[in-house]
Amino acid sequence: MGAAEDALVGPEDDNFHPHSDHPWETETCWYAFCVPERNLMGYLYTWIRPNLGICGGGTLVWDDTAYLPWEVPFFDYNHSIPLPEGLDLRDATLPTGMRVKVIEPLTSYELGYRYTYKDMFEAELRFDALTPPHVFTRGDPPFTIASHIDQPGRVTGRIRLHGEDIDVDCCAMRDRSWGPRSDLQGFRIGYAFATTSSQSAFLCYSLPKAESDPINAGYYLRDGVRADIKSGERRVERDPVHGYATAFEIEAVDEMGRELRATGTPVSRIIFNPYPKMLTWVSTTAWDYDGGTGWGEDQDCWRPDQWSAYRRSLRQ
């Protein structure tokens, strides 16, 4: 990140942003974590719509035993919860059960979660950034009407899953977005990332089409130097019966001319609907690149009607 990109975000971006009177104005907070030796991954995610006075999201945890939301180890995702007054995202306990507190702006966060009804899942975690945020200002593809940051970090702490304490110490990702996000619109997008350390990581956004899956944004961090990805291709092998991804390949070039080549092996997955017009296959993925292995994921996002059409094509 250079000085120009540094100037795009500041401590105030950990809180609510000024917004228009657009009814679909949305703020999101997302934190991922994983336990690679168990093929386990989880999300703490909340979306907030201040003009509608509602929020939603929640927590999901999956492994290689199941991929349907009602069968994975834990799934609690909510819609249209009344938004509390006076909420400050720098120190908030949200109605979704998620808790976030800023320890150092844009760098370190205490995270928590406690399930409302039973002692099925709780989390006490901490996110510490490995790099400054990577910033998309409004109008930068693929964020044409919203602003967005992605930030890799180290997540440490503990989760308690069905009475079992599980230590967490991993590299993962967080993001934040703010701007209009309508539930009446959806699109195809790919989101693939891996993080090995503060010296090595990548993130690729792609816009899948029938004949190709071009990468149009992201970053490549090699030897501690990060540069924006300018072009590339994401290739996905799929299960011939169910359609979910079974292998990934990434080839991309950054603005410094450096070439990224990565192959990804999914070890677990989940499919869920974060928004009505967004159906997402999330694959916990071991990515081989730059001579090593980094853990991350691939998000394979479809409109539900697109996924339905694709599945029907497999049955013909």
Q: So what's the pLDDT on residue 71? A: 98
Cα–Cα dist 270/57, whole Å: 16
Domain with CATH 2.40.370 in the chain: 22-182, 186-316
pLDDT at 3 over 70: no
Over residues 158-166, mean pLDDT: 96
**pLDDT one-digit tens code per residue, 256-311:** 999 999 999 999 999 999 999 999 999 999 999 999 999 999 999 999 999 999 99
At residue 145 the predicted structure's pLDDT band, cuts being 50, 70 and 90, is confident
User: What percent of the chain shows pLDDT beyond 90?
Assistant: 89
Burial status of residue 103 (CB atoms within 10 A of its CB: 0-12, 13-18, 19 or more): exposed
At residue 118 the predicted structure's pLDDT band, cuts being 50, 70 and 90, is confident
Q: So what's the pLDDT on residue 288? A: 98
Over residues 123-143, mean pLDDT: 89
Q: So what's the pLDDT on residue 214? A: 97
- Written as one letter, the residue type at 267 is V
Tell me which architecture the domain covering 186-316 has in CATH.
Beta Barrel (2.40)
Cα–Cα dist 126/293, whole Å: 23
**pLDDT one-digit tens code per residue, 149-158:** 999 999 999 9
**pLDDT one-digit tens code per residue, 215-225:** 999 999 999 99
Cα–Cα dist 79/75, whole Å: 13
**pLDDT one-digit tens code per residue, 260-274:** 999 999 999 999 999
Please state which CATH number belongs to domain 22-182: 2.40.370
Are the beta carbons of 41 and 286 closer than 8 angstroms? Answer: no
